[in-house]
Amino acid sequence: MRTDVASPSVGIDFGTTNSSVAAVGAGGQTRLAEFSLRGARVTASRSLLYFEPPPRRSVVEPLCWTGPAGIEHYLAAETKGRLVQSLKSFLTSRDLKNTSVFGRRRTIESLIARILSDLREAASAQFGFDIRSATVGRPVHFVGAERDEDNAHAEERLRRAFSEAGFSTVQFELEPVGAAHHYAETLDHDELILIGDFGGGTSDFSLLRVGPSVATLAGQASAGLIGTAGVGLAGDAFDAQIVRHLVSPALGSRSMMRSWQQELPIPSWPYASLERWHHLSFLKTREVMALLENVAADALEPDRIRSLIYLIEHDLGFELHGAVQALKSALSREPIGTFLFDDGDVRIESQVTRWEFERWIRDELHQLEACVEGLLQRTGVSAADVDAVFLTGGTSLVPAVRRIFTTRFGADRIRSGEEFTSVALGLALRGRSAM
């Protein structure tokens, strides 16, 4: 592989849910790394790891796969191992430094590094040069960040993970600024734009002036940045509401149980883990399963609790997540969608209207709207001053989210495209302009 200085600029969007890698050559040609998923080629790789359970009393390290390969091995396994996802959401935590995987402690940074290392090696093989430097995206506010120090702490942990994955040089850029560089490539004039980047764990917004004259300002790729804002919610929060209002009740969350001749609500703690599907495997312990068996014995609707037990025993969080995603996608296209989860002892089927879904996520929509409004107020920019609004990320396709912007700015100013890869492409462009 080539390692010369003429190598293309590389951008990496390491997301809570998906990651992508892009390269921009000296001539401006762009490429996206592709990954094989169940016979198809995709440009977004799931940000997850799957560990296969080692033989009992084995001293051998458990086998591990990441991204699409991790998904395929997980789905093919008769006895499920450990699926780890959404690691980016834990970077602000000073308490959660490591986790146990089949009895071995692993730092959050080392787990992320394994994902990044596989991304780097796959992209290097496709692009034809050894990737050792990249422009990397980061959210305006990491999940859980309450102060600037929290964001700095998370960024430093992410930097260490990239170093452990074999990167010698990493330059961080805000993810919505990366998306802005992608959008600016289409312009032959200057514009004041609002970028909305909706990921799995965060939603980020940036106001920028972009265009030919801005891009020439001494190579300062972010010279036109006016202001940024962000909030620690996005697609995962919408998914959680679907689980809370539709899935959890079918599994007994609103049921009652008899205890000491009284009727009491079913304990709520298992359902909190259910809302973050990658936490479901944490419930699969001897102690928790015994507690749930006792709850089922006293429940007025024991079949619902036994369905929950089945879901946990067979570690079906990923499949449940897929059913939630399918409903959300259907409701983005049609006014009515069908939720269907059917696996062994668990079958949940229900029609859901878009109106119901939007009622479930009402608070989250209000937070997004308030975040955008706050950005405009702090920067002194009026909605009328904004020439275009570029929306990216999977959650930007949710009609209620788009309505926030069409109502405020008008449908004629809304732009979109490359929802899952625009940030990576823009980050690669950002890196090229900084050379």
Pick the closest to residue 82 from 56, 97, 103 (CA basis).
103
Inter-residue contact 275 to 245 (CB < 8 Å): no
What pLDDT is stored for residue 2 in this prediction?
46
- The per-residue pLDDT for range 228-273, each reduced to its tens digit, is 999 988 889 999 999 999 999 999 999 999 988 889 999 998 998 8
Q: What is the per-residue burial (b if ≥16 Cβ within 10 Å, else e) of 244-282?
A: bbbbbbbbbbebebeeeeeeeebeeebbebbbbbbebbe
Dump pLDDT digits (tens) for 35-50.
Answer: 988 778 899 999 999 9
**Strand boundaries in 145-217, DSSP class E:** 169-174, 191-198, 203-210
Residue 259, SS3 per DSSP: strand
In this structure, the number of other CB atoms found within 10 A of the CB of residue 293 comes to 12
* Within a domain: 116: yes
Share of the chain above pLDDT 70, in %: 95
What's the rounded Cα separation, in Å, for the pair 295 and 252?
Answer: 10
Residue 29 per-residue DSSP state: -
Domain membership of residue 79 (yes or no) is: yes
Contacts 24+ apart (CB under 8 A), 294-298: 295/257, 295/266, 295/267, 298/257, 298/258, 298/259
Q: What is the pLDDT of residue 278?
A: 67
Residue 47 domain flag:
yes
160-199: pLDDT as tens digits? 999 999 999 999 999 999 999 899 888 889 999 999 999 8
pLDDT given at position 27: 79
Q: Which has the closest alpha carbon to 130: 171, 166, 170, 173?
A: 166
Is 359 inside a domain boundary?
no
β-pair partners for 30 = 24
pLDDT digits (tens, 9 = 90+) for 320-352: 989 999 999 999 999 999 999 999 889 999 999
Residue 86: the pLDDT is 86
pLDDT band at residue 215, thresholds of 50, 70 and 90? low
Pairing of strands 191-198, 203-210: antiparallel
Confidence grade of residue 70 (pLDDT, cut at 50, 70, 90):
very high
Buried b (16+ CB within 10 A) or exposed e, 353-392: ebebbbebbeebbebbbebbeebbeeeebebeebbbbbbb
Band of residue 314 on the pLDDT scale cut at 50, 70, 90: confident
Q: Check whether 66 has a pLDDT greater than 90.
A: yes
CATH code where residue 122 lies: 3.30.420.40
Number of domains in the chain: 1
pTM for this entry: 0.86
According to the model, what pLDDT value does residue 35 have? 92
Q: Is 199 within a domain?
A: no
Host domain of residue 58 = 9-188+418-433
pLDDT of residue 201: 85
- CB 434 within 8 Å of CB 395: no
Residue 157 pLDDT? 97
Give the C-alpha separation, 208 to 211, whole Å. 10
pLDDT band at 122; cut points 50, 70, 90: very high
C-alpha to C-alpha distance for 177 and 205, rounded to whole angstroms: 9
pLDDT of 224 higher than 60: yes
Say if 209 falls within a structural domain: no
Residues 275-307 pLDDT 10s: 887 677 778 888 999 999 999 999 999 999 999
- pLDDT, residue 81, reads 84
More confident residue, 27 or 11: 11
Q: Provide the pLDDT for residue 4.
A: 43
- What are the tens digits of pLDDT across the range 372-428? 999 999 999 999 999 999 999 889 999 999 999 999 999 999 998 888 889 999 999
Across the chain, mean pLDDT equals 90
Nearest to 132 by CA among 301, 4, 15: 4
> Is a pLDDT exceeding 50 seen at residue 308?
yes
Residue 404 lies in a domain: no
The answer on pLDDT for 362 being more than 70 is yes
DSSP string, 338-390: EEEEEETTEEEEEEEEHHHHHHHTHHHHHHHHHHHHHHHHHHT--GGG--EEE
67 closest CA partner among 128, 9, 120: 120
26-30, 84-88, 261-265: segment of lowest average pLDDT: 26-30
pLDDT of res. 260: 81
Q: Is 206 a domain residue?
A: no
pLDDT for 5 equals 44
